[in-house]
Amino acid sequence: MAHSARRSNHLSIGKLLITVALTALTAFTLVSFATYSTADAPSHTVWPHANPVNNLCGPAGAWIAHQGHRLLGVAVWTIALALTLQTVLAWLGKRTGLVAIRMVGVVMLAIAFAGLFAMISPGVGRASTAGNVIGQSVSYELWSRFGAVGAAVWLLLLGFIGAIVTFDKWLVIVPAWIVGVSGPVARRLGTAATSTAGGAINLGGRIGGGLAAGLSPLVKGKEPVQVRLNDVDDDPEMEEERTKSRRRKPVVEEEEDDLIKVVKGEETDEEEQPPAKPKRRRKAEPEEEEAEPKAEAMPRAKAAPDDEEDEEAQPVVEAEEADDDLPGAPQVFDPDALREKIAKLPIAFGAQNKQIATEDDLRDLQNVAEMPGYKFPGLDLLAAPEENFSATLEQYVRDQAQALEAALQQYKIDGHVVGIESGPVITLYHVSLAPGTKVSQLQTVSSDIARALKSVNIRIVSNMVGRDTVGIEVPNTTKEKVRLKELMSNSDAFAKMKLPMFLGKDASGEPLIADLAAMPHMLIAGTTGSGKSVCMNTIIMGFLYTKKPNELKLVLVDPKMVEMSQFKDIPHLMCPVVTEMSRAAAILEWACTKMDERYELLSEAGCRDIAAYNDLPWEELKARFNPQTPEEEARIPRKLPYMVFVIDELADLIITNKEVEGSIIRIAQKARAVGIHLILATQRPQANVVTGLIKSNMPCRVCFKVASGMDSRIVLDQKGGELLLGQGDMLYLSPRTSKLVRAQGTLVDDAETRAVVRFMRDVATPSFERQLMTLRKPDADEERIMQSENNSSASLAAAQEDPMFNRAVEIVLETQRGSVSLLQRRLAIGYTRASRLIDLMGIAGILGEHKGSVAREVQISIEEWEAMKKQAEADLAAMQAAGTAPQPRLFPEDEAAGPDVAAQDTAEATAVIDQSAEFNQIEEDSKDEFPDAFQDDPERSRE
In sequence order, what are the residues at sequence separation of 6 or more whose Cβ sits closer than 8 angstroms to the Cβ of residue 556?
540, 564, 567, 573, 577, 578, 646, 648
Of 70, 71, 64, 73, which Cα lies nearest the Cα of 131?
73
Angle at 267 (CA atoms; ends 263, 270), nearest 5 degrees: 145
Please answer whether residues 316 and 226 qualify as being in contact, where contact means their C-beta atoms are separated by less than 8 angstroms: yes
Of 838, 828, 852, which Cα lies nearest the Cα of 603?
852
Distance CA 440, CA 73 (A): 33
Please count the CA atoms within 13 angstroms of the CA of 931 that sit on its side-chain side.
5
Q: What do you get for the CA distance between the two ends of the chain, in Å?
A: 130
Q: For the packed helices 13-34 and 58-72, what is the interaxial angle rounded to 10 degrees?
A: 70
Render pLDDT for 67-123 as a digit per residue (tens, 0 to 9): 777 777 777 777 777 777 777 777 776 665 566 677 777 778 778 777 777 777 654
pLDDT of 370 = 66
762-765: list long-range contacts, CB under 8 Å, 24+ apart: 763/374, 763/375, 763/571, 763/932, 764/374, 764/549, 764/571, 764/930, 764/932, 764/933, 765/569, 765/571, 765/930, 765/933
In sequence order, what are the residues at sequence separation of 6 or more whose Cβ sits closer than 8 angstroms to the Cβ of residue 345?
398, 401, 417, 418, 419, 420
Of 521, 776, 754, 542, which Cα lies nearest the Cα of 650?
521
SS3 802: coil
SS3 784: helix
Please answer whether residues 733 and 700 qualify as being in contact, where contact means their C-beta atoms are separated by less than 8 angstroms: yes
For 845, left (φ over 0), alpha (ψ -120 to 50), or beta? left
DSSP assignment letter at 513:
E
pLDDT of 173 = 63
532: exposed, middle or buried (Cβ count in 10 Å: 0-12, 13-18, 19+) = buried
DSSP-assigned letters across all residues of 887-939:
----SGGGGGT-S-HHHHHHHHHHHHHHHHHHHHHHHHHHHHH-TTTTTT-HH
Please answer whether residues 270 and 276 qualify as being in contact, where contact means their C-beta atoms are separated by less than 8 angstroms: yes
Q: How far is CA 447 from the centre of its chain?
A: 18
- Beta-ladder partners of 886: none
Average pLDDT, 10 consecutive residues per value, the chain (943 residues): 46 73 80 74 64 77 76 75 76 66 76 77 48 73 81 82 72 60 52 44 44 42 41 46 48 39 39 42 41 40 41 41 41 68 74 57 62 82 75 81 90 89 86 89 90 89 84 87 85 83 87 91 92 93 91 91 88 91 87 90 90 91 86 85 93 84 91 94 89 89 92 90 89 88 92 92 85 63 49 59 83 87 83 82 80 76 83 73 53 38 44 48 51 45 39
Question: Could you check whether the bond before residue 892 is cis, i.e. omega within 30 degrees of 0?
Answer: no
- Beta-ladder partners of 430: 419, 471
E strands, 694-735, in order: 700-703, 729-733
Of 640, 657, 541, 536, which Cα lies nearest the Cα of 595?
640
Distance CA 851, CA 842 (A): 12
Question: Could you check whether the bond before residue 520 is cis, i.e. omega within 30 degrees of 0?
Answer: yes
pLDDT of 585 = 87
Give the alpha-carbon dihedral of 252, 256, 257, 262, to 10 degrees: 30
pLDDT of 535 = 94
Of 137, 143, 87, which Cα lies nearest the Cα of 111?
137
SS3 79: helix
Distance CA 24, CA 142 (A): 37
Distance CA 94, CA 21 (A): 17
Number of Cβ within a 10 Å radius of residue 254: 6
> b/e map of 597-620 (b: 16 or more CB within 10 Å)?
bbbbbbeebebeebeebbebeeee
Q: How far is CA 440 from the centre of its chain?
A: 13
Domains of the chain listed by start with CATH number: 180-325 (no CATH), 335-475 (3.30.980.40), 771-941 (no CATH)
pLDDT of 673 = 92
Number of Cβ within a 10 Å radius of residue 33: 19
Render pLDDT for 124-174 as a digit per residue (tens, 0 to 9): 444 444 456 777 778 777 887 888 888 788 888 887 887 777 766 666 665
- Beta-ladder partners of 426: 475
pLDDT of 272 = 40
